[in-house]
Structure 1
């Protein structure tokens, strides 16, 4: 009976991850190509693609706070799904910059809150059932890889179906999440030492090292955000279509599977911080390879998704799950999402749009790779100095 219940929990949580990433896979990878088809410039595309991360910064914390305070993450997720599903078809009514911007802000205000809330709920339910989150997260990778391949081909033939499919996927995701159990905090948790009584971002966490976790996450995520923002536009400039975007996105997603199979072992062997630092340099290398514009080399670059994105994502969500107070788990994951899907993507889109307009897309990729490398080196030096200053000194040395 216990094994049957555990298997049922694994299946439900696995498909929760599948369905979120199906929604993301239908929507996000093809947006820049959609904007380009409307005749919008690279700078305008950058601004539009920055709308979602701006919402992640400005509005997402509201949803996480509501979910934590009410202890109703599942209900908030379902409400956000249904609101986004209603708003997605408004894209069909917008064809110039300002209307598209307004629709994107409206949709993103709800859609941007889904990932951190879903992650915090699924991670907690997995922990209660003794399940390995890396196996559950593999569902998202598989779902994303399959859907971007299928949708890339479909959009080449019928681009007008994109936002209808987005709405349908969100409704299915909402229905599945409603079937999951709730995971609110305990009613008697107010006096628990595992509950935060402070204010401010750092008060959500049990270690100040989180500041460096978020810095390294920002650097790698900005590099990957640049690729996500301008890969579709680059494909169009190279004379390719949505199919290439779908293939490259599927390759990157499929590369995550081997890492997810060993991610728990990697964290135990090297630690989250070492994996994050390594991932920053891999993200810079990925920018160089994708920026060549040579399809086989671009494929090799996308294979680095495994060690530039997934290592960051898994290290951060597990670090945060283990270093947040019980009543702050949704807000803890939201803080990571604000950096990964918010601030870093705003920087990538705005500066990336300017760089691509000023230098050309090829040179823009190389310039962003150089900036990412410099930032990673600076952050590494700062982290090493912080570790040395924070390390307890030997008694004799301290007395001296």
Structure 2
């Protein structure tokens, strides 16, 4: 693919996942500093995560019918910036929840369309996709490390301003994108998406992923607070988070080797099962630097390898004009429902940190169930595309 298009898409991923590098570890720290309880934090995270249940499908329907993924990405980035900016002036529970929920509503329009645009631009080459997606991981690492230091140095309110800068960068980067051409649809594309969704193999994949995302609830909501309570500095918290994403980068770099050597079933099931082991380590041995660092290395499989394998699964399972809806169902159901339930249950169990071990044991058991479900997936040969690099 052309180097300019590669740079444009890579920049989109850099800013988008850079934003996650701020929100995933430090939103709870920001809310805690504003005086919210662990239950309230869990509720807020659950509500904003729940917007992923419906919103991606609505955006995807519009994208599939109009074919204008880029326009949706631009509008979503601009409105996300406007809504996120409101948190500077909203301090009470309901106004802040509303601001964050609206922000989440619009930010969910971006990633599925970027994924579709990227896959159409690179003609579904797993090798080039991994190289582009790599820049998302780099953005996450840089922002997580800088944010931890800035928040500790200046106060948790720095969270708001860092987010505004990142969202502005994301919006500006979308202005340089070009809408990729999509091949004309063939008659096979007219098969009802319901048949694809209610296929046994997809349902196993869906519920395995849902359990995995439920298990991430305690990590996404309370991990940074957990380490803070264990007397780790803001910079060290950023370092530990970065370790996971650096390991994830390694997976993206060498993704082709994994895809040549193992089936999707093996990649998905092993990623989820090892995630269960990861949460057990976090819950019981986080006071050990080495154990915590080791658990973060498993993030390469928990997120990086699982994400790449799941994208390949969806790409194979759905037809060309079903891709946006397939992505939306996956993100809305797995990340939306799973993430919301996981965040809410984590808020119930956490009890201001007293229930930390129980909360991560819940995460480990949930991931274990997901991994067992994934073991029943049917093995399918991985379709290899000719690289355009």
Shift of 1:284: 0.8
Residue of structure 1 equivalent to 2:166: 169
Match for residue 355 of structure 1 among 346, 349, 368 = 349
The answer to whether the aligner puts 1:240 opposite 2:232 as a matched pair is yes
Say whether 1:265 aligns with 2:263. no
* 1:87 and 2:83 correspond: yes
> Which runs of no fewer than 5 residues in structure 1 stay unpaired?
391-400
How far, CA to CA, are the matches of 1:222 and 1:157 in structure 2? Answer: 33
Corresponding residue number in structure 2 for 1:11: 7
Q: Give the 3-state SS of the residue equivalent to 1:183 in structure 2.
A: coil
Match of 1:332 in 2: 326
- Find the counterpart in structure 2 of residue 393 from structure 1: none
Distance of aligned partners of 1:74 and 1:364 in 2 relative to their CA distance in 1, 3 Å threshold: same
Residues 1:276 and 1:26: Cα distance change in structure 2 (over 3 Å): same
Aligned counterpart, 2:368: 373
Counterpart in the other structure of 2:298: 304
Residue 141 in 1 paired to residue 137 in 2?
yes
**Match in the other structure for 1:62:** 58
* Distance (whole Å) between structure 2 residues aligned to residue 86 and residue 380 of structure 1: 40
Residues in 2 aligned to 1:245 and 1:309: alpha-carbon distance in whole angstroms: 19
Question: Residues 271 and 130 of structure 1: is their aligned pair in 2 closer, same or farther, counting only changes over 3 Å?
Answer: closer
Pair 1:30-2:26 in alignment: yes
For residues 154-208 of structure 1, the C-alpha deviation after alignment (integer angstroms, 9 at most, x for no partner) is: 111223232223223222222222322213545x53xx124234253x4469x65
Corresponding residue number in structure 2 for 1:183: 180
Q: Write the distance in 2 (CA, Å) between the matches of 1:51 and 1:264.
A: 37
1:253 offset after TM fit, Å? 0.6
Alpha-carbon distance between aligned partners in 2 of 1:172 and 1:283, rounded to the nearest angstrom: 32
Aligned equivalents of 1:139 and 1:117: distance in 2? Answer: 17
Partner Cα separation in structure 2 for residue 243 and residue 336 of structure 1: 34
Query: Contact 1:71–1:183 (CA<8 Å) still a contact in 2?
Result: no
Unaligned ranges ≥5, structure 2: 381-389
Normalising by the residue count of structure 1, what TM-score does the alignment of the two structures yield?
Answer: 0.87
Deviation at 1:341, TM superposition (A): 2.3
The 1:259–1:128 alpha-carbon spacing in structure 2 relative to 1, beyond 3 Å, is closer
Structure 1 residue aligned with 2:384: none
CA separation in 1, counterparts of 2:6 and 2:237? 31
Question: Structure 2 matches for 1:89-104, cutoff 5 A?
Answer: 89-104=85-100
Number of residues paired by the alignment? 376
Aligned-residue offset at 1:256: 0.8
Give the superposition deviation at 1:133.
0.6
Q: Per the alignment, in what secondary structure is the counterpart of residue 254 of structure 2?
A: helix
Counterpart Cα distance in 2 of 1:120 and 1:363 = 39
Which residue of 2 is the match for residue 396 of structure 1? none
- Counterpart of 1:117 in structure 2 is 113
Cα pair distance change 1:203/1:313, threshold 3 Å: same
> Is the Cα contact below 8 Å between 2:17 and 2:136 reproduced in 1?
yes
Q: How far did 1:221 drift?
A: 2.2
Residues 307 and 203 (structure 1), Cα distance of their counterparts in 2 relative to 1, 3 Å cut: closer
Q: 1:293 aligns with which of 286, 293, 296?
A: 286
Secondary structure of 2:187 counterpart: coil
Shift of 1:274: 1.2
- Cα RMSD after superposing both structures: 2.5
